[in-house]
Amino acid sequence: MEDVLLKAWFGRTPDEALRARLAPIRALTRLYYAGVMLSASAAASWVKDDTDLSAPTPEQFRLAIDEGRLKRGAAETQHILGKMFLASFLSGVAAPKLEAAH
């Protein structure tokens, strides 16, 4: 899908130079989503004492959703997802999939 979108947008098959230009945009997108998710939960009283930035892996997150330890759409789930996006931004590892949280 990415190749189709890039080809449609730029009118040519994406090359390595174009892909390299997209890397910082992906990182900034992860940082943006981290900010959105974390700011949405910032006012919650339980968040004020949370100074731990550790985050589960996408697999651990999905398992917690599947097992019912995290509820889709809940503030706590969004907060954890924000931490995951922040970890993804800092490490460069693939971002979590949003559909797991909704």
Which residue's entry shows tokens 């006012």?
Answer: 43
- Residues of the chain scoring pLDDT < 50: 102
Q: Could you tell me which residues come within 8 angstroms of residue 6 by beta carbon, excluding any fewer than 6 positions away? A: 13, 14, 18
String of DSSP letters for 23-82: HHHHHHHHHHHHHHHHHHHTTSGGGTT--------HHHHHHHHHTTSS-TT-HHHHHHHH
Task: Return the number of other C-beta atoms located less than 10 Å from residue 81's C-beta.
Answer: 28
* pLDDT of amino acid 43: 73
* pLDDT of amino acid 34: 93
What is the rounded distance in angstroms from the CA atom of residue 6 to the CA atom of residue 28?
18
* pLDDT of amino acid 26: 87
